[in-house]
Amino acid sequence: MRLIKVSDEEELSRMAAEYVFSKIKRSERIVLGLATGRTPLGMYRHLSKYSKEYKLLFSHVHTVNLDEYVGSRAYHAYMQENFFDHIGIPSNQTHLPDGEALELERECKRYEEVIKQLGGIDLQVLGIGENGHIGFNEPGTDFSSRTHVVELTESTLSANAKYFTHEKQPLKAITMGIGTILESKEILLLAAGVKKANAVKELFRGSLNENIPATVLNHHPSVTVIADVGARSLLEEES
Ligand code: PGA
């Protein structure tokens, strides 16, 4: 696992955007796995700027998001507002789980099939939860899980409550499974702030622990972590 050390969220955003940008530029076709939440916002802002300079930058890009709340389109709205509306990507090249699907189990299977039909994910961008979750794979999730419906934990609900001022916060979500994420050819994990320090420390401890889902990334051959000073604070205290 490679660690890129940055000082703050602004530098993290710039580095992450450059990383993704260079992958896009170098490929003729690319499937990007995308994340929501606070951490990737700056990356999306920078990538949107690149797309103004480089016309058609996203014409050969396909995207698949990690997750969506059940009964909600909150993450669809997030992606439109913060990214898709700014980069001129054809809407049929962007994919998220449908949290409003009537048959959720069938939707999970459909989503797996979407990823398969695209030929798999070339580069998956991940955040990390305070409890070490990736996507919405909460502690205890089977490392071989595929796309599934999850009950969100207290920790995740309280971390994300701020986004639900106009809508009741859903208690469940559809998420790509850990097994699904692990099949990505390459992973870029972004961690910012002291709240992530414990999860980052556990991640770099190197041992697998189902109670801290991100530790499964120690099993993946190509993972890059960009972490700011706060997120590295406990890691560096130890070494
Ligand atoms: P955050 O979420 O970027 O809003 O901190 C990350 C996550 O929960 O995966």
pLDDT of residue 25: 95
Q: How far, in Å, CA of 217 to CA of 191, rounded? A: 14
Q: Once rounded to an integer, what is the mean pLDDT over residues 23-41?
A: 97
Identify the residue whose C-alpha is closest to ligand 1 atom 8.
Answer: 129
Q: Once rounded to an integer, what is the mean pLDDT over residues 188-201?
A: 98
> Which atom of ligand 1 approaches the CA of 160 most closely?
4
- Ligand 1: residue of 9, 34, 38 to mutate (most ligand atoms within 8 A of CB) is 38
pLDDT of 224 higher than 80: yes
- Cβ atoms 42, 75 nearer than 8 A: no
190 C-alpha vs ligand 1 centroid, how far in Å? 9
Question: Any bridge partners for residue 171, and if so which?
Answer: none
Q: Which residues line ligand 1 (CB under 6 A)?
A: 37-39, 127-129
| Catalytic status, residue 103 | no
Q: Once rounded to an integer, what is the mean pLDDT over residues 39-67?
A: 96
pLDDT of residue 41: 98
Cut 0.85: pTM above it:
yes
Tens digits of residue pLDDT in 68-114? 999 999 999 999 999 999 999 999 999 999 999 999 999 999 999 99
pLDDT class for 166, splitting at 50, 70, 90? confident
| Catalytic status, residue 98 | no
- Ligand 1: residue of 78, 79, 82, 128 to mutate (most ligand atoms within 8 A of CB) is 128
Q: How far is CA 19 from the centre of its chain?
A: 15
pLDDT class for 238, splitting at 50, 70, 90? confident
> Which atom of ligand 1 approaches the CA of 135 most closely?
9
Query: In terms of DSSP H, where are the helices of the chain?
Result: 9-26, 41-53, 74-79, 85-87, 104-117, 154-160, 178-182, 197-205, 229-238
Identify the residue whose C-alpha is closest to ligand 1 atom 7.
Answer: 129
